[in-house]
Amino acid sequence: MGEDTRDETVVHVGGEPGTPGAYDVVIGRGIAGRVRDLVPESAARALLAHAAPVADLARRLADALADRGVEVHLEELPDAESAKTIEVATHLWGVLGRAGFTRTDVIVAVGGGAVTDLGGFVAATWLRGVPLVDVPTTLLGMVDAAVGGKTGINTAEGKNLVGAFHPPVGVLADLDVLATLPRADLAAGLAEVVKGGFIADPVILDRIESDPEAALDPTSDVLREIVERKIAVKARVVTEDLRESSLREILNYGHTFGHAIEQAESYRWRHGDAVAVGMVFVAELAVRTGHLDADTVARHRRVLASLGLPTRYDGASFEELLVVMGRDKKTRGATLRFVVLDGVGAPTRLVGPDVEDLRAAYEAVAGSAD
C-alpha cells in the first residue's frame, strides 16, 4: 500500500517521486508538523485557507511555516459547501493579488473536502497554477477530495461543474485530527471508503463487516488500515488516468445519483450520505440491466447500514433527479453514463440505460422494503 516510515505511511501518487505531477500522501498520527516538509523550498508566501472548526490547527501550521521563514496569510472560510462559490474564490484571488503572490508561492488548504476543492481551484487558477498542499481534516477529505488533483466550485446548476485538474505537491493526513470529528461525519467519510472496497479492494469490505465499530473508531488500527487501502486505490487509479478520460470514471461509483440528491437537498445532505444511497441506486440498476446479482446489492445495503449510513431516499421525484443526472459530468450529449459493477472489484460503464430501468432503481431506493 505504501512505504512505512516511523509512524507514517507514504503513498505515492502520479508516478515515481520527483517526476512531474507526482506527490506523496503522508498518513499517520501526530504528524501535522510535517507540513513544513511538503511546502516547496521556493515558497516565500503561503495562503493558509482553513475551515472555522480547525482554526487552532491552522494557527499551529501557520506557526510552523513562519518558523521556516514563510510569510503566512490566514484566511477563514465559510462552512462546508458554502465555501465552494465563485464569490469566495474571488475573495481569495484578491488576497493573493494584494499580497503579491507569485508562481513559486503556495496555497495550503486545511479542512474538509469543500476546503480542499476550493483551495485547489484557487491554486489552479491563480497565475494559471501555483503549488498546493492539502491538509484534509475530515475522513472524507483524506480518502477522497484531497487526493487526485480534482478541484472545483459549485454553481446553481450543479456541483463541481466549474473546476480544473491541479494535483497538489503534497497531502498530509494526520489521523489524530479525526478524534473530534462527529460520528455522523466519520460515517459519511466511510461511504467513500466502502466505495473503494466495492470497485477495487474487497479487503476493505471484509474489515468493515468483521468489526463496523472499529471502522468508526478514529483511534483503531482497522480505521487506519482501511483509510490507507482506500487512498492506495485512488492513487493507483489517478496515476493511470489523471484527467478522467477513462479508468478514473470508476471513482464516480454512486456519484451520479448521489450528486443529484445533494442538489435536490440544496447541499444539506452530507456528500458521503448521498453517495451511500447512490451506490445502492446503481447496484439496483446493475441488477436490472444484467450486470450484478441480488446478493451483492444486499451486501451494499448491509455494509452501509452497519456504519449508520442511509440506503434510501425519496425526498425528490424521479423526474426531478433525472433532470439533474442529465447534467452530470459523465453525461455525453443526452446519453446518461453510469459506473456499475459486474461483481465486487469489477467496475464497468453502463451507457444509455432505459428510463424504465432507471425508474425501477429509483423506486427500489425510495421504497420501504429491501
pLDDT tens digit sequence for 267-298: 899 999 999 999 999 999 999 999 999 999 99
According to the annotation, is 230 in a ligand binding site? Answer: no
Q: Residue 283 and residue 266: Cα distance in Å, rounded?
A: 25
What are the angstrom distances between the C-alpha of 119 and each of 67, 105, 304?
23, 14, 30
CATH number at residue 49: 3.40.50.1970
In this predicted structure, what is the pLDDT of residue 298?
97
In this predicted structure, what is the pLDDT of residue 161?
86
According to the annotation, is 213 in a ligand binding site? Answer: no
Say how many domains are in the chain.
2
| pLDDT at residue 33 tops 70 | yes
According to the annotation, is 138 in a ligand binding site? Answer: yes
| pLDDT tens-place string over residues 202-226 | 999 999 999 999 999 999 999 999 9
Range 291-313 average pLDDT: 98
Residue 29 and residue 116 share a domain: yes
According to the annotation, is 133 in a ligand binding site? Answer: no
Residue 217 and residue 175 share a domain: no
CA nearest neighbour of 253 among 314, 330, 312: 330
According to the annotation, is 137 in a ligand binding site? Answer: yes
Q: Euclidean distance between the first and final Cα of the chain, in Å?
A: 36
According to the annotation, is 180 in a ligand binding site? Answer: no
In this predicted structure, what is the pLDDT of residue 79?
83
According to the annotation, is 83 in a ligand binding site? Answer: yes
Range 145-157 average pLDDT: 87
Residue 105 and residue 220 share a domain: no
Range 148-169 average pLDDT: 88
According to the annotation, is 79 in a ligand binding site? Answer: yes
| pLDDT at residue 17 tops 90 | no
According to the annotation, is 255 in a ligand binding site? Answer: yes
3-state secondary structure at position 288: helix
> What is the torsional sign of CA 81, 86, 88, 92?
positive
Residues forming beta bridges with residue 79, ordered by sequence position: none
According to the annotation, is 114 in a ligand binding site? Answer: yes
Q: Residue 94 and residue 92: Cα distance in Å, rounded?
A: 5
Residue 214 and residue 156 share a domain: no
CB neighbour list of residue 355: distance below 8 Å, 6 or more residues apart: 322
Q: In this structure, is residue 229 part of a structural domain?
A: yes
In this predicted structure, what is the pLDDT of residue 239?
82
Residue 216 and residue 141 share a domain: no
According to the annotation, is 46 in a ligand binding site? Answer: no
- Domain end, chosen from 180, 196, 226, is at 180
CA nearest neighbour of 131 among 45, 67, 62, 68: 45
Range 96-115 average pLDDT: 96
According to the annotation, is 102 in a ligand binding site? Answer: no
Residue 172 and residue 193 share a domain: no
Task: Enter the pTM of the model.
Answer: 0.89
In this predicted structure, what is the pLDDT of residue 4?
40
3-state secondary structure at position 253: coil
Residue 361 and residue 235 share a domain: yes
328: domain range?
183-240+250-366
> pLDDT tier at 18 (50, 70, 90 boundaries)?
low
Range 232-257 average pLDDT: 81
- Domain end, chosen from 131, 163, 180, is at 180
In this predicted structure, what is the pLDDT of residue 243?
57
According to the annotation, is 282 in a ligand binding site? Answer: no
- Domain end, chosen from 158, 180, 202, is at 180
CATH number at residue 218: 1.20.1090.10
| pLDDT at residue 368 tops 70 | no
Question: Average pLDDT over the chain, rounded to whole?
Answer: 91
Residue 219 and residue 170 share a domain: no
Residue 165 and residue 304 share a domain: no
What are the angstrom distances between the C-alpha of 33 and each of 36, 141, 151, 167, 360?
6, 19, 25, 21, 51
Residue 236 and residue 140 share a domain: no
In the numeric block, which cell numbers belong to residue 291? Answer: 450486470
Q: Residue 221 and residue 231: Cα distance in Å, rounded?
A: 15
Q: Kind of pairing, strands 3-5 and 8-13?
A: antiparallel
| pLDDT tens-place string over residues 34-86 | 899 999 999 999 999 999 999 999 999 999 999 999 999 999 999 888 899 99
According to the annotation, is 155 in a ligand binding site? Answer: no
Q: In this structure, is residue 245 part of a structural domain?
A: no
Range 106-131 average pLDDT: 95
Q: Residue 241 and residue 92: Cα distance in Å, rounded?
A: 30
Residue 210 and residue 150 share a domain: no
Residue 234 and residue 115 share a domain: no
